[in-house]
Amino acid sequence: MKFKGLSFALLLFSLCLTNTTLQAAGGWREIINESGIVLSQRTLPGRTYQQIQGQMTISGRIDTLTSILNNPALCSQWLNGCRSSQVVKKLSQAERINYTVIDAPFPLEDRDMYVRSKAGYDSHTKTVTITLQGIHNFAAEQGKRVRVMSLNGFWKFKQLDNEQVKVSYQMHSDPQITPPSVVDSFSPSSLLKTFTRLRKLATSPAHRNIRFTPAELQSITTR
């Protein structure tokens, strides 16, 4: 496995549904619980769009999942709506800046984003965390594409016993869509498709046996 650049799982249309029911601890409200995938949202003070999170447990290893996110060429195979993704700047073995284009449904214009991603491995908890931070002014906007603003989130892959991995995702972003209700009908199915495709890809014969080399693991180990 080679570290070509950390891609990420930004779901542009994961901002949905006005809260009309009682929320769980932390303000999270479950919106989907299907096939082992649980998706929740919450409202953040002073923010137009909701924050979203997702969780699932799959068979496999953190090596495989990190490899998939690390390869921009695979973006369209698991991230719903991903048109393209590429590394534009490598800051270190663990940190990069990616440029990704999201194919928005008609009549919206496609969205694009520059995202700084940084991977870290905690050997005590056997967890890989990939933090994501948007850099909207990294380069000029291109053509009719609309820049995603103020993006912040992460992926976490925690190795469990019996070759199981707990996958956690959290994201908040500003896709510059008004009113926010425009994206409501897209968000649940978009996020569910991404998680479903990621699980399928991670358990496929082409990827499930990928393992970190000692050098790769050392390059992202934080403790």
Structural domains of the chain in order of their starting residue, each with its CATH number: 25-220 (3.30.530.20)
What is this structure's pTM?
A: 0.87
Could you tell me how far CA 136 lies from the centroid of its own chain?
17
Q: Indicate the pLDDT class of residue 85, thresholds 50, 70 and 90.
A: very high
Q: What is the pLDDT of residues 25-36, one digit of tens each?
A: 579 989 999 999
Residue that wins the pLDDT comparison between 213 and 17: 213
Cis geometry, peptide bond prior to residue 179 (ω within 30 degrees of 0): yes
Residue 56 has pLDDT above 50, yes or no: yes
> Which of 8-17, 113-122, 132-141 bottoms out in mean pLDDT, i.e. has the lowest?
8-17
Which residue pairs, CB below 8 angstroms and at least 24 apart, start in 180-186? 180/15, 180/48, 180/49, 181/18, 182/108, 183/12, 183/13, 183/15, 183/16, 184/15, 184/16, 184/17, 185/16, 186/13, 186/16, 186/105
Number of H helices and E strands in the chain, helices first, is: 4, 10
